[in-house]
Structure 1
Amino acid sequence: MKLKHYFFSLLLVYYFLHIFGFIFGFVFEPLVYFIGEHIFKIDYTFEVNGYGSGDNTYSYLASFCNLLAAFVVAFPVTFLLNKAKNIQVIQNYFFVLLRMYLIFFMLIYGLSKIYPMQFPPIGLQRLEQTYGDSSPMGLAWSFMQYSQTYTAFAGITEVLGALLLLSRRTMTLGALVLTGVLTNIVMMNFCYDIPVKLSSSHMLLAALILLLSDYKRFINFFVLNKEIKAKIHHNGFENGEEPKAFFLGKVVLKAFFAVGITTYFTIQYFSYKDEMEKKPLLYGIYEVVPSEENTATYRSFIFDRYDTGVITDTNYKKNIYSYKVDTKTKTVTFDGSQDTTAVKQVFKYQKTKDELILTTTSAKKIHLKEKKGEAILLTYRGFNWINEYPYNR
């Protein structure tokens, strides 16, 4: 048995299980929980759903199971490969699998950055939060959310790499682009504790496999300064001629990736664009105006997008709520707090030109003054071609 054939079989089986793992979920799920309990001695409860986290316990255990299965299944696959007439054909189709895998996710992540869906504008709650109160992921998110132009640029590089992978002629260039892009993404995920470390590492490894498949030509061109010949692609068909049905299938698949996913994200974005940009009725950051009439319980109120509100008390304790405004009864209700110690609160509201007045159920009035844009340096400073001195605050 050739070691390089076994290593190739290992990668082939592992990525097949990784990409199509959802199909075998009903088989692997009991095994994952068994290994977690009896091998790793995990004594806490964990779920299949990571609720947005790709680094949950189940994901790591599932990857471990995939690796174990790949080590075992790679033996019979290697035996078959050793008997294959042209192993390069199988290798090329494995590269097709990796290309489709990368194209799919890079287009999704890239387009969600070009259209500000993954990183929408910074919320008011985040603007009022101190650096010290930010999580590492929250800090990274704020960085990306600040400049939609930079975020769109990052998305364009991901889409560019994906589109280059659509053709085998530009596959190596696409793998080179995505290796650089994904290296930055993986470093950011690890250094800022963003919970997609596992999935992004799989993507980076896939890009590296595609890139290293052409390592000899790379060395000849970049190191040895030698002339390189065109790479011959083996499709496994007689005389290298593809049947029309096979060719049309490739065209449809490429159209799905290049046009279908792009069209889907474009429709999604413009369908929700107005709703995303719409500001709620009481939108803003309001600070309590000190007075004898005002109650001493509250310090500030935030009415953010997506019905999210924050009430800060005089001890600087922030309670995050969902809120609803009833324009008929002129009431605002703060409910569903993420902090179990917080209680439901209902206020009557009155909006004037200069202030917002909230009235509690005990008839106490809270006078609030809106914090204007110029008071928030991050959003007010803007871009400056000329800086006589560094404006670093």
Structure 2
Amino acid sequence: MTAWPRSAWNVCYFQANQSYMQKIPFFKKFITCLLAGLVVGAFLLRQGVTFFRQWVPIRTMSLIEFLIVLVAVIYAFIWQARKKNSPGTLAFWQGLIRYGVAYDLASFGWEKICHLQLVIPGNWADRPYRSFTPSELFWSFFSHSYLFGCIIAGLQIAGAMLLLFRRTTLVGVFILLPVLANILLMDIFYDIGQSVVVHASIMMLGALYFLFLEFNRLKAFFFAASNNIASLQMPGYMKAAIRLSIIFIPLLLIAMHGNPNRHPALTGKYEVKQLKVNQHFLAPTGCSDSLLTVVYFEVNDGCVFEFNTPQRRWSGTYKMDKDHLGISWRNPGGKPDFKGVLSRDPATGMVVMTGVLGGDSTEVTLQKVMN
């Protein structure tokens, strides 16, 4: 067996060591350390607030998070000053990001399964819909189905586990990004809270970090690599027309369908200010009286009469022909139709319904209270 010359071994060692010790830009060091500090600090703060707030003040936990971020940022400058490019150091900080995001999302998943999240007080079921804040609407909606919550939890836990293995990190990112994006958007638009939005944003950035690390590979995979989809043989303009059809055809059909709010000036909630039946003025003397108190004119020509409470309602549809108004009822069945005219009092701006309801002459004066 012929031995390699010593110089050849030196060249091989130098090349291997050079590739192993590739220079890491300061920007990458700084972003990696900063993100690691933010992610670790955020998930530790959330764990503390959720499980340890009885023993540790929130201010103390917030201070710990701040110190973690500060130490991470300072280390980025120390790392640069030492002029060391050890991949082990980079792997450590990237590992902190992966673990922080994975732990946080897995924790959210297990909390859903164990009924620590997406649970609302029982008294909310008896509250009027209009009394709910956006965040309460959010929690009420997602608390309706435990199975749905478990599916979300399963995605969070599975994506978190895949994120912790180098070979499956990208798969984990692709699973978690839609989940995180959905959570972040709902946190923003349902006013869940600024601190929650910040927390979700940090975890989103942590997942995006690994996506950007593989940008060149993803670019080649999605745009440069060949695919096995057969090419349709037709002129280019026809292909363009077919592609654009998904934009223009639905819009055309929607335009032809018309606006569901056919009477925008009438649509809204009205309070009954005066009720006259068979030339006699009626006024409720108690909550048990079944007198008309609220009228709704809805989109799609919907109409609702409410008699003192939401539990006493007639729901149906109305038709307008100039000033003539006709209302037929769907629920409850068997209720008499209303036929009459609709006018406005020029002095007060109130709406007056005059007609016949079940053989009784009826005149209802309405004041609009909500569009």
* TM-score (structure 1 length as normaliser): 0.43
Q: Name whichever structure is richer in strand by fraction.
A: 2
Whose radius of gyration is greater, 1 or 2? 2
Higher relative contact order (CA 8 A, sep 6+): 1
